[in-house]
């Protein structure tokens, strides 16, 4: 059980980061979040965003191939993070994931975290899913911002992150120990 260790690391990162309230702040909160929490049912489609560096033939990318089965009752935004080389994958897994998206947004790491936060915040999402967090420092730091009222992490980080803005960890029974719900 490493929950308290990861929470301590997250607290140290927050305390040592520059302050402020705008997109430059590690703890930035998107403008729509408080209103969405106060009035969660806006009457339209539920807006879901999925952010990943690995929407390609990679274990994290393969995990998200299910989104083709996601109901069209959801408005799906796929945020593809590209690294400093600017390479966007065009393999079958990447194309399958993007084919279900109602919108595809490229987040270039070269543009910096404030710009990435702003692009995600502009989508006024209801739910934001982080495909992986522990595999890249930029993804890890991006998750400290509150960019949607409900934020989810999944198996790209196989244990807790300790990050207070992540509300849910989505897993499946064969992957977990019996006592997993305690963490």
**pLDDT, position 123:** 96
Query: Please, what's the largest Cα pairwise distance for the chain?
Result: 42
**pLDDT, position 121:** 97
**pLDDT, position 181:** 58
Mean pLDDT in each 10-residue stretch from start to end of the chain (183 residues)?
Answer: 88 88 91 89 86 83 74 85 79 86 91 95 95 83 96 77 89 62 57
**pLDDT, position 158:** 64
pTM for the model stands at 0.88
Residues 150, 27, 37, CA angle at the centre, nearest 5°?
30
**pLDDT, position 92:** 87
Cα–Cα nearest to 51, from 165, 142, 146: 142
**pLDDT, position 173:** 61
Q: What is the C-alpha to C-alpha distance for residues 172 and 155, in angstroms, rounded to an integer? A: 10
**pLDDT, position 73:** 82
3-class SS at 51? Answer: strand
Give tens-digit pLDDT for 93-119: 888 888 888 999 999 989 999 999 999
3-class SS at 74? Answer: strand
Residues 150, 154, 160, CA angle at the centre, nearest 5°?
90
DSSP 80-136: EEE-TT-PPP-SHHHHHHHHH-SEEEEEEGGG-HHHHHHHHHTT--SEEEES-STT-
């Amino acid at each position: 059980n490493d929950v308290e260790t990861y929470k301590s690391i997250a607290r140290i990162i927050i305390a040592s980061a520059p302050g402020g309230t705008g997109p430059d702040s590690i703890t930035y909160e998107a403008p729509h979040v408080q209103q969405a929490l106060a009035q969660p049912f806006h009457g339209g489609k539920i807006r879901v965003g999925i952010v990943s560096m690995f929407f390609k033939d990679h274990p994290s990318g393969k995990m998200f191939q299910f989104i083709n089965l996601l109901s069209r009752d959801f408005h799906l935004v796929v945020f593809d993070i590209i690294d400093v080389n600017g390479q966007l994958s065009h393999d079958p897994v990447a194309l399958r994931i993007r084919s279900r998206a109602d919108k595809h947004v490229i987040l270039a790491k070269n543009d910096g975290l404030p710009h990435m936060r702003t692009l995600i915040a502009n989508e006024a999402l209801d739910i934001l899913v982080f495909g992986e967090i522990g595999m890249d420092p930029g993804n890890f730091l991006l998750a400290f911002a509150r960019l949607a009222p409900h934020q989810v992490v999944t198996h790209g980080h196989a244990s807790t992150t300790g990050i207070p803005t992540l509300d849910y960890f989505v897993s499946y029974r064969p992957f977990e120990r019996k006592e997993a719900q305690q963490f």
